[in-house]
Structure 1
Amino acid sequence: MTHRSLPPEPTWLPDDETVDHANLTTAMNVRGFDTYDELHRWSIDDPDGFWSMVIDDLDIHFDEEPSAIRGNEDPTDPDWLPGASFNIVRSCLDHDPEAVAIINGTGSGVHTVSVGELIERVAAFAGGFKKAGFSEGDAVAIVMPMTVDAVVAYLGTIAAGGVVISIADSFAPEEIATRLLITSPVAVVTQDEARRLGGDLPMYSKCVEADAPRCIVVDTGSGMRLRSGDVGWDDFVVLGAPFEPVSLPASAWTNILFSSGTTGEPKAIPWSQTAPIKAAMDGRFHQDIHDGDVVVWPTNLGWMMGPWLIYAALLNGAAIALYEDSPTSEGFIRFVEDAGVTMLGTVPSIVAAWRGSGDLNEGDWRTVRVVSSTGEASNPDDYTWLMRVAGGVPIIEYCGGTEIGGGYVTGTVLQPAVASRFTTPALGLDLVLFDAEGNPGDEGEVFLVPPSMGFSTDLVNRDHDTVYYEGLPVHDRPLRRHGDQMVRESGGLYRALGRVDDTMNLGGIKVSSADLESAIGEIEGVSEIAAVAVPPIGGGPDRLIIFAVPVGAPDVDVLRTKMQQRIRATLNPLFKVHEVVLIDELPRTASHKVMRRSLRADHRE
């Protein structure tokens, strides 16, 4: 099915002040490029020159300098920074000790942590790592919300030469147990409970139920008793320990994250010391993060945007803003202004909640310069609204993956912002679209063109080459599988069509879930929708089922009629809505992606 059409008009146009202030403008001027397209082409044609520029701009500290940017010409495993010895945590904290590193919003107000204070706390955790008898390369899992202590544990583990196992705090005990079995950590960092929207959510007890190894537990005041062998945070850390990050090669694993894992065992994806450089590069040039900025992105360490936030902020000299409650609350909206947030990250479901609640209004945010969105396909109406109420600022759409350390298609502040559209492949890489017949074109499956820093070269529990490099289309450039679907529209804009496995066949015609959901658009009486195709129990063609989160008590038959009319008018009259199912909330992964497979499986049962 062809989805190529004229894109909507830009909602935001670059102004002189934004262009003059942009990191991209500085990079282009220094290197003599007149246009962004020239810079992007250079970043692909000369990866050694581009990544050398990035390393210099980020001021990455090396104990031993690399002998080259790449050790070989193999695009699938180029041996980044051969001979280098360093610890990325040192560069994260190599700033004015008096500068603000973290701004934390809690029930008792807004508090700041300076760079100097963060160094002391990271050193204390690293000292506890060593005192406990843990060794270089040992893994420590973190199962807790994105708090100051979580950031300290993350950086402290890596500073000590350990590997962080990132596990989302929302996971049930069995999901935690699966990830612990895959990675075998020596300890788990968690907290007794987490408070959300006035309720207390268990943390430590879930880890115990998951048969976690030794737990290091932050006490938030619950008075919970610990298992024998477990230890409180205050008893684990070593106050006054020196800040002495362990020097490691560029290829050393620092973090293991997991794919969404909506079916089967999740892929365990290691990050080396080059993934933070990719994340910080994206933040610097695409989200336009500057020294002294304040960056917030509601997330957790179990989603790649948690580590991304740490590196994109700290390596660029910006502060991390953390809010210890729901990002859909009125309190978060106030926190954005109180913390002086300049770059606001979000996901579409949060934006829909802001719009639906009426809590966010024009003038509420006066410091925000840039908004960025990731996690799932966005709603153009919601995002046109957000650009307006946020003060007429651009929204940088950002699509990537854990296995690439950041984004592959995104936007910049030098280009017009169009709601729910991407304006460029990320710097340092390119992409190619292939249709179902294996021909390159303007619509189809996304294949990335390596090399790029951040691209994974290992998997803990899969064969890496089989997953990403086997069975690829024939092309004149090396390719890497990613699994998304995109369409390149007139003017060179990109629009997401969802994952390859979200494609459905209705009446012999292929269509993506994203296209169906976009066609239905704003239907009165629902806040969110998910389209899935479900085969009937007795066999036969797939049936289109629309899951909808209701607002109030809408009539299901009326909803179905309206949805059918929208699909008939904008997509294809042959697509028939078989059923509309009302649901309290859409199931989501830790990275906020809708679990359509779960909806499909539950409906069949």
Structure 2
Amino acid sequence: MINIRVEKLLEYGLDQQRATDLHGQMEAMDANQSSEEAWRHISKNLLTPDDAIKAHEYLWKAAFHNSEGDVAVPCWSPSVTDVQECNVTKFQKAHGLPDYEALHRYSVLNKSEFIERVLDELGISFQEPFSKVADYSNPCTPSWFYGAKMNIAQSCLKPPEGRPAIIYQKEGGKLEEMSYGELDALSSRVANGLINLGFKKRDAMAIDMVMTAEAVAIYLGIIKAGCVAVSIADSLASDEISKRLKISNTQLVFTQDVVQRMGKKLPMYQKVRDSGPKRVVVLPSGNELEATLVGDDLEWSNFLSDDKHFETVACDPMDTVNILFSSGTTGEPKAIPWNHTTPIKCAMDAYFHHDIREEDVVAWPTNLGWMMGPWLIFASLISKGTMALYYGAPTGEEFGRFVQDANVKMLGVVPSMVKQWKTTDCLKGIDWTSIRNFSSTGESSNASDMFWLMAQAGYKPVIEYCGGTEIGGGYLTATMVQPAAPSFFTTPAIGLDFAILDDAENQSSQGEVYILPPSIGLSNMLLNKDHEEEYFRDAPLIKEEYNGGLGTSLLGQAKQYSGDIGFRRHGDEIEKTNNGFFRTHGRVDDTMNLGGIKVSSIEIERLLNTITGVKETAAIAVSPHGGGPSELIIYTVLADDNNNGESLLNEFQLVIKKKLNPLFRVKQVMITDILPRTASNKVMRRTLRKNFLEKTN
């Protein structure tokens, strides 16, 4: 029996009549229903978008009143129809697997056989067949599809020519479409244009522009030609662009004249030109080019070939297709190459976890400078779906109506974006019920915000998605066959497994996550850092008692391979809850994610330690109570007693704004006599994080 009170419904924003009616409907419910059944009935049949969100939360908690001991409480559970129709179930039935746990176990214990079946399901094309799925002589960095020739662009352009490949809308404009045939033709004109300029296989071409239909065609055209796409975020300043062009040895940059955002025109070509590129191709953001070109830079129309046909260049599967960069703010960014097999990881995750199906419309506000830009291309096009691209800022009503009018089935978000939608109430009156699921990545999410988001589409799940550029997708995520609790994960990604270890390298319910290679999508090189040092040096050895995220023996998985195999370090701290969900707790190393931007604690500390009166500092990132984007906390040892926390906070904030990043906000300064250190004198940031959480809670 679910006990609710009318006065509480009034307190949470309902009027007397609505509160009385809802109370009566609740009283009439079957008292023998499970919590999941009761909440499904309440959320689908009783509550409406017009009811205050606090009333929704009150009834949700009332339905699960017997789950108070559980850390994670689901607010969506799959119906029988949901389970029957999703990709996971389709694959399970085709291969005689009884349930999801069996599917995951099969994907990690029979890796080569599993990958062959995935290739068939996704329709991945090869110009010459492989003799074996992988050369596992070094299982930590295997060579996939040994002996094959392929070009992943071919697998992106298979649907009928007339099917929409991209639905897009300019700010203040209307919906437009680019078909698969038009995308194929335009990308071929790009590839021919590159050849006409004398470029050859493996030459690097940068893209620094808003993610438009033309940007997608440029990206695929570069890959068709056997060249390398260099991803640069359109928000970067000239000096940061310059670093990336030099690291990647970029020969040509594609950009646009200006960026139009919220009614303003921001110069783009000039910023790129100031970065010192060898040559630039400039696209007009409107009907006419709004920039004066210099040197031998080319206007888009003069670059494009008239030839709409191109014989896609055959490549080795391990040839680089894309160079992406870590989102650091100072110093040299980490350059991470993707090869022709990495997009298969993107499409695998889209198939098994995001449940993207043929002809689905997929939207994720992003750009090609962040891994989710290339991910979106491969996830939607290899799935034979349609990308939905909105060219403006995705923060207001117009974006909400774009999602509605484009009939989006899977909408990807960043948590801070959701918070803004919720705060401004800009989605009021917009119908998102066509959405099948959401997905969230980029930073830690807030449970209350994610609950609100689910409610906007009539309670559809949020697939939390945690991974990285060096993974090609996610390592920790969720599915459409498991219940969804706001801000929680349910499973290691299909085809991948991990262990959670404490400081003593014992298996634990909370600790550092270590990934077990090999897994398709994992990086096998870095352009400007030592890959072995970055991911494998000093990682723990696999022990017999270690089990993976869903209980499969990790040593049993490792025995598939003849070579030595060890864990791969990723740097996240995660927890497995008492009822089988997972959640993240930030980084265990000196890297922090502040507002979706990665920055080293050491960079912040080096800056703050120069301030008069400060002896030393330690910067940590902590998720707020209830979850959400990490907050910056500075532990400080004073050189004298003339400073206090409040004055230092203002001074720290000013220095960080001027010399590091104006988006970083110092939440709190903690004065301490000494910083905890290891025997080798390293600051124990995990201890500081634990102490802070214990004190504030």
TM-score w.r.t. the length of structure 1 is 0.86
- Is residue 131 of structure 1 aligned with residue 219 of structure 2? no
Aligned partners of 1:324, 1:502: CA distance in 2, in Å? 31
The aligned counterpart of 1:212 is 277
Aligned length: 547
Residue 42 (1) aligns with residue 106 (2): yes
Alignment of 1:131-170 (within 5 A): 131-170=196-235
Counterpart amino acid of residue 432 in structure 1: A
Determine if contact 1:267/1:459 at 8 Å carries over to the other structure: yes
1:482 is aligned to 2:547: no
Of stretches 203-212 and 260-269 in structure 1, the one that deviates more from structure 2 is 260-269
Report what 2:354 is aligned to: 287
Paired residue for 1:447, among 501, 514, 532?
514
| 1:271–1:405 Cα contact (<8 Å) kept | yes
The more displaced of 154-163 and 434-443 is 434-443
Give the aligned partner of residue 532 of structure 1: 633
Question: Structure 2 CA distance, aligned partners of 1:16 and 1:120?
Answer: 42
Alpha-carbon distance, 1:518 to partner: 2.6
| Alignment partners' CA distance in 2, 1:485 and 1:593 | 27
Q: In the TM superposition, what is the alpha-carbon distance from 1:403 to its structure 2 partner?
A: 0.4
Displacement, 1:493?
A: 1.1
- Residues 77 and 482 of structure 2 are in contact (CA less than 8 Å); yes or no, is this contact kept in structure 1? yes
* Kept in 2: contact 1:69–1:81 (CA 8 A): yes
Matched to 1:492, the amino acid is G
- Following superposition, the deviation at residue 32 of structure 1 comes to 1.1
Corresponding residue to 1:58 among 109, 122, 138 = 122
Q: CA deviation at 1:537?
A: 5.1
Post-superposition shift, 1:60? 0.8
SS of residue matched to 2:143? coil
- What SS class does the counterpart of residue 340 from structure 1 fall into? coil
After superposition, the Cα gap between the structure-2 partners of 1:434 and 1:87, relative to the gap in structure 1 and judged at 3 Å, is same
Partners of 1:470 and 1:250 lie apart in 2 by: 27
Deviates more, 1:212-221 or 1:313-322: 212-221
**SS of alignment partner, residue 42 of structure 1:** helix
How many angstroms apart in 1 are the aligned matches of 2:202 and 2:666?
Answer: 36
Deviations 1:240-269 (A, max 9, x none): 331311010110100000111234211100
> What are the Cα deviations for residues 557-581 of structure 1, in whole angstroms up to 9, with x where unaligned?
xxxxxxxxxxxxxxxxxxxxx9589
- State the one-letter code of the partner of 2:391: E
How far is the alpha carbon of 1:108 from its aligned partner?
2.3
Alignment of 1:354 onto 2:421: yes
Structure 1 pair 161–225 and aligned structure 2 pair: CA distance change class (3 A): same
Partner in structure 1 of residue 485 of structure 2: 418
Q: Distance in 2 between matches of 1:66 and 1:598?
A: 54
- In structure 2, do the counterparts of structure 1 residues 539 and 407 end up closer, same or farther at CA, with 3 Å as the change threshold? farther
- Identify the residue that residue 190 of structure 1 maps to in structure 2: 255
For 1:543 and 1:448, the matched residues in 2 are separated by 43
**Cα displacement (A) at 1:598:** 13
- Counterpart of 2:621 in structure 1: which amino acid? S
1:181-240 per-position Cα deviation (integer Å, ceiling 9, x unaligned): 111111000001111111112211111111111000001235310011100111111023
Aligned equivalents of 1:512 and 1:494: distance in 2? 22
The residue identity in structure 1 corresponding to 2:442 is G
Offset, 1:53: 1.2
**Counterpart for residue 332 of structure 2:** 265
Matched residues in 2 for 1:360 and 1:376: separation? 22
Q: Partners in 1 of 2:479 and 2:619 — Cα distance? A: 29
1:498-538, Cα deviation, whole Å (9 max, x unpaired): 1223689xxxxx997344x135x69xxxxx77232242452
Amino acid at match of 1:449: L
Structure 1 residues 598, 272: CA separation in 2 closer, same or farther (over 3 Å shift)? farther
Once the two structures are TM-superposed, the CA of residue 484 in structure 1 deviates from its matched residue by 1.1
Q: Secondary structure at the match of 1:70?
A: strand
1:363·1:391 contact (CA, 8 Å) conserved in 2?
A: no
Please name the residue that 2:140 is paired with: 76
Q: Does 1:308 align with 2:415?
A: no
Matching residue of 2:476: 409
| Structure 2 counterpart of 1:470 | 537
The residue number in structure 1 matching 2:402 is: 335
Determine if contact 2:401/2:430 at 8 Å carries over to the other structure: no
More moved, 315-324 vs 360-369: 360-369
Cα distance in 1 between the residues matched to 2:645 and 2:536: 33
What's the CA shift for 1:52? 0.8
Return the alpha-carbon distance in structure 2 between the equivalents of residues 594 and 423 of structure 1.
Answer: 31
CA distance in 1, matches of 2:666, 2:573: 17
CA-CA distance at 1:387 after TM superposition: 0.4
Give the equivalent residue in structure 2 for 1:24.
88
Whole-angstrom CA distance in 1 between matches of 2:73 and 2:235: 38
CA distance in 2, matches of 1:599, 1:304: 31
What is the CA–CA distance in structure 1 between the aligned matches of 2:76 and 2:99, rounded to whole Å? 19
Question: Are 1:164 and 1:256, in contact at CA under 8 Å, matched by a contact in 2?
Answer: yes
Query: Is the CA contact 1:533–1:543 (under 8 Å) kept in the aligned structure 2?
Result: no
Q: Which runs of 5+ in 1 are unaligned?
A: 505-509, 523-527, 546-555, 557-577, 601-605
> Partner residue of 2:293?
226
SS at 2:134 equivalent: coil
Deviations 1:386-414 (Å, cap 9, x if unpaired)? 10112210100000000010000000000
Q: Which moves more between the two structures, 475-484 or 63-72?
A: 475-484
> Secondary structure at 1:155's aligned position in 2?
helix
- 2:579 counterpart letter in structure 1: G
Equivalent of 2:465, from 371, 376, 398? 398
Instruction: Show the counterpart of 2:167.
Output: 103
Residue of 164, 181, 184 corresponding to 2:246: 181
1:89 Cα deviation after fit = 0.5
Q: Does 1:298 align with 2:365?
A: yes
Distance 1:194 1:307 in 2: 20
Corresponding letter in the other structure for 1:490? N
1:518 maps to amino acid: H
* Contact kept? 1:534, 1:544, Cα under 8 Å: no
Identity %: 42
Hey, what does 2:24 align to over in structure 1?
none
Identify the match of residue 239 of structure 1 among 306, 310, 315: 306
Q: In 2, are the aligned partners of 1:532 and 1:596 still within 8 Å (CA)?
A: no
- 8 Å CA contact 2:620, 2:633 repeated in 1: no
Give the AA of the match of 2:354: Q
**Retained in 1: the 8 A contact 2:633–2:667?**
no
